[in-house]
Amino acid sequence: MKSFDKKSAFTLIELVIVITILSLLSTMGFISYINFSKGSRDSVRITEVRNIQKSLELSAIDEGRFPIPDKAREITLSGSVVWYQGTFGDSAHKAVKRLSKKPVDPSLGIEYSYSLLNNSQEYQISTIFEGEEITKSPFISHTYAAEITAFNIGNYNERVSYVKSDGRDIIVALPSITSSDDSSNELLEIIQSNNLVIHGKYNLSDSYNTGEYNQSGGVKSEDMNAIVFSGNLNELNEYENQRKFLENLIASYSQMSDVSQKSTDAVEKLNQINLDDSEAVQEYTNFLMQNNIGGLPRL
């Protein structure tokens, strides 16, 4: 009779250990694959929006302005257009004449968000950065949270915007010209509802309202007075009015949180100005005007 060698077989405990290790390795491999896929898509997005940026800049040299977005809707203040928000679609792609094919998001196949300031000289393109997949596993001690953030690029100053309405010159503290809310076209409502899309934050452009991603985490500004000047721009030739304008601008941004680094840097420079120094106040105000920042006309 043949004897049975107990050492030639796995025990139940050994089998459980092997299965556990294989499951752990499989889960880790799956997470790595998911993150690699997301990283690859993000690389495509960065390349494509930068190609759009280059094509827009070159087109503006030829045409003197940037093309109107496709499917554009007007974001307004007191009935006047502040910016046009839509996508870099067929018409914009045809207008720039420098891209062989129209870029679309590698995950959803949708057109990239494209916003244009009312002066047709400043624009913003918005897409997303994908984060790690939400993964639940009995073999991993924590959950990987989905971190989908906005990626904005363009020449928009992320500081102020100008609009003329009912004979008044209005300057608005405005860190972004992309909205996550496709149900409202009123600027102040968009701002007060925290629906501005900020680079690196969690609100996404309205073009990504597909149900795939969360839409939360825009600039927090419920109590912010966005209008920092209203009147006749000629009033800004006087020091006291210039000072009041800059005080309002500083106050508006002090009530915001989660603005982009570009906005933060601009406001830090503003905070360094001695408002009792009339020359410094005039110099900064003139800088905004002479460079048409946010569409401000030259005085």
Domains of the chain: which residue ranges?
A: 10-156
The pLDDT score that the predictor gives to residue 86 is 97
The pLDDT score that the predictor gives to residue 8 is 59
Mark the ranges of the chain whose per-residue pLDDT is less than 50. 4, 30-36, 132-145
> 86 has which bridge partners?
114
| Alpha carbons 246 and 160: distance in angstroms, whole number | 11
Pairing type for strands 149-153 and 160-165 reads: unpaired
The pLDDT score that the predictor gives to residue 66 is 97
The pLDDT score that the predictor gives to residue 14 is 67
Please give the full DSSP string across 138-184, using - where no structure is assigned.
TTSSS-BPP--EEEEESS--SSEEEEEETTEEEEEE-S-S-BS-TT-
Query: What three-state secondary structure class fits 209?
Result: coil
Written as one letter, the residue type at 57 is: E
